[in-house]
Structure 1
Amino acid sequence: EFKHFWSEEFEVVHRELGCALICMSNKFSLLQEDTRIHHINMHDYVKSFPNGEALSAKMVELLHNCEKQYDSITDDCDRTVKVAACFKVDAKKEGIAPEITMIEAVMERY
């Protein structure tokens, strides 16, 4: 399911996806204890992929801006899926949505 995240047809709406994203992010230490992004770890993680050095700051900025929009949602899974949907839209607007090679690299690590 994660490899379809960036396709136009894939709707980022289900709470369960938010829970899965939290689980996967915790595996890579990308979240703080309050399930908000850990900025330093996220920067380092993004930098580890092709073109990651160039994308890291912008991706973390977009994620953080989306987190701020949905900060009042108390359910971690619900909030995370809203943040993910926001990030998907904003990353596509900025032209930095990952290409299939990066998605495949992430899937290999997971």
Structure 2
Amino acid sequence: MADSRWRVVCLVCAALLSGEVLASKVLMTKMTAGFTEDVDLCRKELNLGESVLQDMYYFWREEYQLLDRNFGCLILCMSEKLQLVGDDKRLHHGRTAEFAKTHGASDEIAQQLVTLLHECEKVHHETEDQCVRVLDVAKCFKTKIHELQWAPNMETLMEEVMTAA
């Protein structure tokens, strides 16, 4: 009898945890899909080639290597347009948390995302080239999101992007 109670408790815990992971994947999908318009604006504004679109498309694939400095420039431009960075070109924690919340994040998840980004920023804070620093922060963030199993599913993400377009 006690054995079956523990099984039920474990099953409920697993269901709750997988629900948080699923909710976080949905959140990351919505947030990523919302960047489409800014990607196009920034790409034109910075006169960037097609390679940044490929980086954007494959960003969440765990095995995909982000190497192009221009992708960091693209992310920085998008972050500026979304008012996620301050005058110092560093992440503005309050606005970033609000951005996550407007896409459906709870206070707890929004704060966790900001914390992950802040941890990545601390690792790369001395990098002087802003585009390289942002690229390195993006790679770090991507790794941490994969560790949490929050990375969006590519098929679902593409559906969201097509729906938003």
Instruction: Return the TM-score normalized by structure 1.
Output: 0.84
Per-residue deviation, 1:99: 4.7
Return the offset for 1:48.
Answer: 1.3
Q: Distance in 2 between matches of 1:33 and 1:91?
A: 27
> CA, structure 1 residues 102+45, in 2 after alignment: closer, same or farther (shift >3 Å)?
farther
**Cα separation, 2, equivalents of 1:38 and 1:61:** 12
Q: In the comparison of the two structures, how many residue pairs are matched? A: 107
- Tell me the equivalent position of 2:143: 89
State whether residues 30 and 42 of structure 1, in contact with CA within 8 Å, keep that contact through their aligned partners in structure 2.
Answer: yes
Deviations 1:12-66 (A, max 9, x none): 221100000000011110001111100011001011113x125211111000000
Greater alpha carbon shift after TM alignment, 5-14 vs 95-104: 95-104
State the one-letter code of the partner of 2:103: F
Query: What are the equivalent positions in structure 2 for 1:18-33 lying under 5 Å apart?
Result: 18-33=72-87
CA distance 1:76–1:42, shift in 2 (3 Å): same
Shift of residue 3 of structure 1? Answer: 3.6
Percent identity reads: 34
Instruction: Say which of 112, 116, 130 aligns to 1:62.
Output: 116
Mapped contact 1:66–1:83 kept (Cα < 8 A): yes
Are 1:6 and 2:55 matched, yes or no? Answer: no
Identify the structure with the greater helix proportion: 2
Q: Which runs of 5+ in 1 are unaligned?
A: none
What letter matches 1:7 in structure 2? R
- Whose radius of gyration is greater, 1 or 2? 2
Question: Structure 2 unaligned runs (5+)?
Answer: 1-52
| Contact 2:85/2:92, CA 8 A, preserved across alignment | yes
One-letter identity of the residue aligned with 2:149: G
CA gap 1:47/1:98 in 2 versus in 1, 3 angstroms: farther
TM-score, scaled relative to structure 2:
0.58
In the TM superposition, what is the alpha-carbon distance from 1:102 to its structure 2 partner? 6.4
Aligned residues: CA RMSD: 2.2
Amino acid at match of 1:41: R
